[in-house]
Amino acid sequence: ETGVTQTPRHLVMGMTNKKSLKCEQHLGHNAMYWYKQSAKKPLELMFVYSLEERVENNSVPSRFSPECPNSSHLFLHLHTLQPEDSALYLCASSQDHDSGVSTDTQYFGPGTRLTVL
Amino acid sequence: GQQLNQSPQSMFIQEGEDVSMNCTSSSIFNTWLWYKQDPGEGPVLLIALYKAGELTSNGRLTAQFGITRKDSFLNISASIPSDVGIYFCAGQDFTDKLIFGTGTRLQVFP
């Protein structure tokens, strides 16, 4: 596998379910990101991890819980979601040359299409 | 929060025509990126621009970083059916945060 992969590609869940989204990057990058893409809205940055430390959390509800066990893997744990959380969830990675939030080109995975019933 | 104005929102063109889209911001950016997103896929980087005035090509695609550092445009020459998709601009500001435009949806008719 090359680039950034995401699983599952599609997920349907009820509001009481617990599920996790997985992202894996094969680019040797040290920063990873979660974005939410809703219809007719700009991409919304949710979380940023740089060197496996969370460096940004953009006021995301606690029902979304990220985890970055190493520089190649990123998870988004989902719990008691709402129907308005239905969206395409995109993972991205980049090579962060500073210790800051985001300094270089980001490469995206194919996304997980999430539907909350 | 900071926003990018991307226009047009959508374009319907004939195969072979040239296409132009742009993004403007009220503040200065250090980097401009252009992405294309196919249905059901994530955005794919097309062109990255790092200097004001920079003009960069990638095949039939050409993008420029505006001299004021507040705008960028993307041109596609001699469009083909596989150019169909949503094109996003993204700008990186002084905080290094990447901000995305709302996208331009391109439809190409044979």
B50-72 per-position pLDDT tens digit = 999 999 999 999 999 999 999 99
- Which residues in chain A have their CB less than 8 angstroms from residue B88's CB? 43
Q: Write the pLDDT tens digit of every residue in A40-73.
A: 788 888 999 988 788 777 789 999 999 999 999 9
Q: Is the pLDDT of residue A11 over 90?
A: yes
Angle at B26 between CA B21 and CA B32, to 5 degrees: 50
Instruction: Specify the pLDDT at position A97.
Output: 66
Instruction: Specify the pLDDT at position A104.
Output: 63
Tokens linked to A27: 């680019």
Contact B41 A111 (CB under 8 A): yes
3-state SS assignment for residue A84: helix
A41, A98, A110 member nearest B41 (Cβ):
A110
d(CA B60, CA B18): 10
Q: Is the pLDDT of residue B81 over 80?
A: yes
Contact B96 A45 (CB under 8 A): no
- Count of C-beta atoms within a 10 Å radius of residue A114: 21
The residue in chain A having the minimum alpha-carbon distance to the alpha carbon of residue B98 is A102
What proportion of chain B, given as a percentage, has pLDDT over 70?
98
Mean pLDDT of chain B: 92
3-state SS assignment for residue B67: coil
